[in-house]
Amino acid sequence: MKDMTQGSEAKHILLFALPMLLGNLFQALYNTVDSIWVGQIVGSKGLAAVAVSFPIIFMLISLVMGLTMGTTIIISQYYGAKDMDNVKKTIDNTLLMLIVASILTTIIGLIFSKPILVLIDTPAEILKDSIVYLNIMFGGMIFLYGYNGLSAILRGMGDSKTPLYFLIIATVVNIILDPIFIYILKLGVAGAAYATVISQAISFVLGYIYLYRKHEIFRAKLNELRFDSQIMKLIFKIGFPMAIQQTLVSVAGVFLNAIINRFGANAMAAFGAASRVESFVFMPSMSIAMSVSSFTGQNLGAKKLDRVKRGFKAALLIGLVISIFTLFITLGIPKYLIMMFIKDKEVIALGVQYLKILGMFYFAFTFMFVANGVVRGSGDTFVAMLITLVALWFVRIPLANILSKSMGLVGVWYSIGIGFLVGMTLSFSYYFSGRWKTKAIVK
C-alpha cells in the first residue's frame, strides 16, 4: 500500500501510473492477441464479429465497472484519512455488489445478445459468429467483475502493482490458449472467447487466494460479508454517475458501430483493427488519469489541496509528452500497425485512414482525461458524466450520422476527433472553476 500525501507529486503520479500502464498494455495485448489470431486465421469476417461484439459487452458491464471505479475513489479518501474501518466496509460491500451484478449481467446478456446485434444492423455474414462470441463472454462475467473489483480496491489503497501481476497471469494464459482453441481445435471466434474466459477465471481465482492470504483486510468469507446501507449509498452516490458515464460511452459505441455497419463488413473490420491499435495508444493517458484520481483522493482526504493542484500540472506535462509520441506513431507507421491484424488491402487502407485522422486529436483525449481524473478523484463524478453526455451524444454521434452521409467513413472518423476537442474544453473549464474542491467525502 502506498501513501501519496507526502513527497514529489510528479514522482508519485508516475510511479503509481507505471504498473497500471504495464497492466493496461497487457490488457490491450490480451485483447489484441485474440484479434490477431481471429483476423489472420478466421479472416476479416471473424475480426468484424469480435469488433461488433465488444461495445455490446462493454454496454452491459459498464454500470458495474463504473461503480467499482467509484469504489477506488471512496477507498482512496478513507485511506488518506487513515479510516481503515470504513475501508474494510467498502471492500466487503463492493464484493457483495459484484456477486449480484455478475449474475444479473450474465442472464441479461444471454437473453438479449441476438436482439441487440440485429437492432444495430450487424451484417448477416457475421451475425452467427457475433452471437456465439457474445454468449460465451457473458457466461464468464463473474471472473471479469471479480478481477476488476479486486484491482479497484487495491488502487484505492495506493497499490497498482498487485493488479498487474493478476493481469500478467491472464495474458500469458490467453496467449497460450488462443492458438490452441482457434487454430488447433479450429473453434474460430468461439475459441477466442473460451480462451478469454478461462484466462480471466484463472487470474481472478489466483488473485483472490493471494490477497486472502497476504492481507488481513481481504479476509472475508462469503457468509461473513455484511451489507452496510451507508457505505452502499456512498458507493452508488459516487459510482453511479461514473456507471452512467461508462454506459453512455458503451451505448455510443454501439450506435457508432451501427453507423459504420452501413459501409459493410470491411469497414467494421478496419474499425476493429484500428480500435485495437488505439487501445494501446490510449493506455498511457488513461493510466496517468487513473493515477491522478487516486492521488487526488488521498490528498483531499488528508486535506492537502495544494498537492492536488501541483499534481494536475505535473500530469499535464506528462500528458503532453505522451501526446507528441502518440502523434509520431500514428502518422509514421499506421500501415504496419493495421497489418498485424488483417491481410485484406481494402481493410488496411481504411484502418490507416482512421489512425492518421485520429492521431491529430489524441492530445485532446489525454488532456481531457487528466482534468477529469482530478474531478473524479474529488468525488465530483456527476459533472464528468455530463461532460461525457455532451461530447458523445450531442457532438460525436449526431455529427457522425450527418458527416457519414456527406463525407463517408472519413466523416465518422472526424466526428470522433471533434468529440475529443469538445470534451477537453468542457473538462478544463470545470477544473478551473474550482467547484470540485468542495466535493470530498472526508470533510
List, for residues 129-156, the tens digit of each pLDDT value. Answer: 889 998 999 999 889 888 888 888 888 8
Nearest to 359 by CA among 334, 378, 377: 334
Looking at residue 316, its pLDDT comes to: 93
Are 59 and 136 in contact by the 8 Å Cβ rule? The answer is no
d(CA 157, CA 363): 29
Q: Which residue has the cell 490510449?
A: 282
Q: Which residues have CB under 8 Å from 64's CB, separation 6+?
A: 97, 98, 101, 102, 105, 145, 243
Domain boundaries, the chain: 9-438
Looking at residue 28, its pLDDT comes to: 67
Looking at residue 223, its pLDDT comes to: 66
- The model's pTM: 0.72
Looking at residue 415, its pLDDT comes to: 95
Sign of CA dihedral 198, 283, 439, 296: positive
d(CA 54, CA 66): 17
Low pLDDT (below 50) residues in the chain? none
All three cell numbers of 239, joined, read: 459510482
Q: Which residue has the cell 490507416?
A: 352
Q: What is the 3-state secondary structure (H, E, C) of the chain?
A: CCCCCCCCHHHHHHHHHHHHHHHHHHHHHHHHHHHHHHHHHHCHHHHHHHHHHHHHHHHHHHHHHHHHHHHHHHHHHHHHCCCHHHHHHHHHHHHHHHHHHHHHHHHHHHHHHHHHHHHCCCCHHHHHHHHHHHHHHHHCHHHHHHHHHHHHHHHHCCCCCHHHHHHHHHHHHHHHHHHHHHHHCCCCHHHHHHHHHHHHHHHHHHHHHHHHHHCHHHCCCHHHCCCCHHHHHHHHHHHHHHHHHHHHHHHHHHHHHHHHHCCCHHHHHHHHHHHHHHHHHHHHHHHHHHHHHHHHHHHHHCCCHHHHHHHHHHHHHHHHHHHHHHHHHHHHCHHHHHHCCCCCHHHHHHHHHHHHHHCCCHHHHHHHHHHHHHHHHCCCHHHHHHHHHHHHHHHHHHHHHHHHHHHCHHHHHHHHHHHHHHHHHHHHHHHHHCHHHHCCCCC
Looking at residue 184, its pLDDT comes to: 87
Looking at residue 411, its pLDDT comes to: 94
d(CA 336, CA 170): 27
Nearest to 50 by CA among 63, 64, 40: 40
Residue type, 218: F
